[in-house]
Structure 1
Amino acid sequence: MTAPPSARSRPGRLGTGDRIFLAAVIGVPVLALLVFVWFPALASVGLSFTTWDGIDLGAIHWTGVDNYQQIFTNYPPFWPAVRHNVIWLLFTALVPTPFGVFLAYQLDKKIRYTRIYQTAIFLPMVLSLAVVGFIWEIIYNPDSGLLNSALGAAGATSDIDWLGNPDLSLWAVLVASGWRHTGYIMILYLAGLKGFDPALKEAAALDGANGRQTFLKVVLPAMKPINVVILVVTVMESLRAFDIVYVLGGGTGSKPGLELLSLLITDNIIGEASQIGYGSALAVVLLVVSLAAIGTFLFQTFRTQEDQ
């Protein structure tokens, strides 16, 4: 006997418990995003046009674009920080990132003990940047550090102050950061290679392509989505570099040779001479640069994909 239309099964409406669950699952993360991300970001934009000591709300005074004007004209650490951020980006993009891709491609060849190699290379990524900084601080110690001890055993007559020399400090920190970044890129690219069709490699080998040609002509173009992710990660890691520099630089952004935008922001907002306006203006500049770099690249990438 056929059930009447009114008795047929209909999609059930959400009960009170389901609504509470959805509100908690969706509402709590959205609320946290608004409170801890968007509100501080918008507040920084507003405060960048003011002067404030960070304590008395009645001491907030509107100054217009004076903070930005002083940053670009009368704020000496700004341009060295920009230069160091650019150097950080170029070094990360040209050394540890390609090296991580190279390691991923080699480890994808089913060599012996590949799991052990992957674990050893990825291990620094499991550690926080602060811990990595402490490890490399021991390595770079001018008196009893591993690096100077090795150089002394090789015949060096004097110890090198790797972190105290303004000409060497940035490169020393870059090596420490690259050590961690290499493992991250390796795992990202290795995950992409696991989904790569091996038949494409076999077809290239039948056509006479060697390993280098197969990678450049077949694997690399096919891994374009992963390449986009890696590039975005590299840019963001370079622009937001803070923890490891803060640890190795002794907790200051004004140390010669180690000026970075992120450290200048910290120094001006929570430093001894708290200047919330300056710090907020610097944060807005860093935000605009980040959005411009990532947005431009993603726009070009997606437009190219649509044209294809």
Structure 2
Amino acid sequence: MSTVRTASRSSSRAHPRRSRQRSLGPGDRLFLTVVVGIPLLALLVFVWLPALASIGLSFTSWDGLTLSDIHWIGLDNYHQIFTNYPPFWPAVRHNVFWLLFTALLPTPFGVFLAYQLDRKIRFTRIYQTAIFMPMVLSLAVVGFIWEIIYNPDTGLLDGVISAVSSGHHIDWLGNPDLNLWAVLIASGWRHTGYIMILYLAGLKGFDPALKEAAALDGANGRQTFLRVVLPAMKPVNIIILVVTVMESLRAFDIVYVLGGGTGSKPGMELLSLLISDNIIGESSHIGYGSALAVILLLVSLAAIGTFLVQTFRKEDQ
């Protein structure tokens, strides 16, 4: 009997009674409703409803004054955009060029800086702070900073060029052959710090034993990064690519500041600026602007959706 009792006591100790699940009280439910409901309501009001309204207005003609002036015109806005709207195709070309420039220069450079700073070099905290500092500033502030740098009369860049050589002043933002490059450099200056921080955060969770194993196999630094680090950082690479695509397609603030607040300036046409010019410009063509916004939305969803579907399909295989 004592043996049985001892066994029963030991079994009860080995398998303790499961604690009952605590039911949510009224206060907990109210808290969850507020925490989840308010962001969902804000997302619905400020994102999805305007997006649906833009889709509907893209099939109308409206000057934005009164609701009675809204007239249904079908696909006329889209037809005119693709046939009789000259700034559209230069804007598309510039957006594609913006994406290629950002993906090929600032993004790899940010990854390179993150990999170098992760190697525990001296003053790494100072370098990280200095490179990431532009990301703390808004794009509008970054635009004002580079507007001072590009000033043809008192700007820093022309001052340095004049000190080195006796060349004439260059109108960086007024020359259609140079202004887009000038804006891309300003945007890349900020984007590099953003990518560096994202990749550096991913490298903090990387297993250093993999690098040591690669070094024992005789791999140098470049081979270790390309064959070990880069494949292991695939989730971070996906995030960086999505961020790069979105930043390139929705570029607006810095171009608006450096371009003088217009989207029709030669050399600086972008889809986002054309949208703002038609919706909130002097001559409101909300139907045109909404149609342009729908096109930009579809391009964004197609680019990111295709990439994500292919990525998840490869992971499933």
Runs of 4+ in 1 over 3 A off after TM superposition: 8-13
- Give the counterpart of 1:128 among 130, 135, 138: 138
Q: Paired residues, what number?
A: 300
Alignment deviations for residues 136-160 of structure 1 (CA, whole Å, 9 cap, x no partner): 0000000000000000000132000
Letter in 2 for 1:172: A
The residue that corresponds to 2:55 in the other structure is 45
1:13 positional shift: 3.5
1:20 positional shift: 2.0
- Give the counterpart of 1:202 among 206, 209, 212: 212
- Give the counterpart of 1:279 among 289, 296, 299: 289
- Give the counterpart of 2:242 among 232, 236, 250: 232
The residue that corresponds to 1:4 in the other structure is none
Matched, 1:14 2:24: yes
Determine the C-alpha separation between the residues in 2 that align with 1:159 and 1:263.
28
Q: Kindly report which structure 2 residues correspond to 1:256-295, keeping only aligned pairs within 5 A, or say none.
A: 256-295=266-305
The residue that corresponds to 2:264 in the other structure is 254
Matched, 1:179 2:216: no
Matched, 1:60 2:70: yes
Letter in 2 for 1:30: L
Question: Is the alpha carbon distance of 1:10 and 1:110 closer, same or farther for their aligned partners in structure 2, counting shifts above 3 Å?
Answer: closer
Matched, 1:142 2:152: yes
Determine the C-alpha separation between the residues in 1 that align with 2:21 and 2:121.
53
Task: List gaps (5 residues or longer) in structure 1.
Answer: 1-7
Share of identical aligned residues, percent? 82
The residue that corresponds to 1:3 in the other structure is none
The residue that corresponds to 1:5 in the other structure is none
- Give the counterpart of 1:299 among 274, 286, 309: 309
1:14 positional shift: 2.8
Matched, 1:98 2:140: no
Determine the C-alpha separation between the residues in 1 that align with 2:189 and 2:157.
15
- TM-score normalised to the size of structure 2? 0.93
- Give the counterpart of 2:118 among 95, 108, 115: 108
Task: List gaps (5 residues or longer) in structure 2.
Answer: 1-17
1:26 positional shift: 1.2
- Give the counterpart of 1:189 among 194, 199, 217: 199
1:236 positional shift: 0.3
Which is further off, 10-19 or 50-59? 10-19
- TM-score normalised to the size of structure 1? 0.96
Which is further off, 143-152 or 51-60? 51-60
1:22 positional shift: 1.7
The residue that corresponds to 1:24 in the other structure is 34
Letter in 1 for 2:172: W
Letter in 1 for 2:50: P
The residue that corresponds to 1:212 in the other structure is 222
Determine the C-alpha separation between the residues in 1 that align with 2:86 and 2:293.
17
1:191 positional shift: 0.6
Determine the C-alpha separation between the residues in 2 that align with 1:269 and 1:243.
16
Determine the C-alpha separation between the residues in 2 that align with 1:93 and 1:185.
11
Alignment deviations for residues 172-215 of structure 1 (CA, whole Å, 9 cap, x no partner): 00000000000000000001111111111111111111111111
Which is further off, 203-212 or 11-20? 11-20
Determine the C-alpha separation between the residues in 2 that align with 1:26 and 1:90.
38
1:17 positional shift: 2.3
- Give the counterpart of 1:166 among 172, 176, 180: 176
1:101 positional shift: 0.4
Determine the C-alpha separation between the residues in 2 that align with 1:241 and 1:91.
13
For the residue of structure 2 that corresponds to 1:266, the secondary structure is helix
1:300 positional shift: 0.5
Letter in 2 for 1:260: L
Letter in 2 for 1:218: V
Alignment deviations for residues 232-261 of structure 1 (CA, whole Å, 9 cap, x no partner): 000000000000000000000000000000
1:102 positional shift: 0.4
Letter in 1 for 2:162: G
1:27 positional shift: 1.1
Larger radius of gyration: 2
For the residue of structure 1 that corresponds to 2:202, the secondary structure is helix
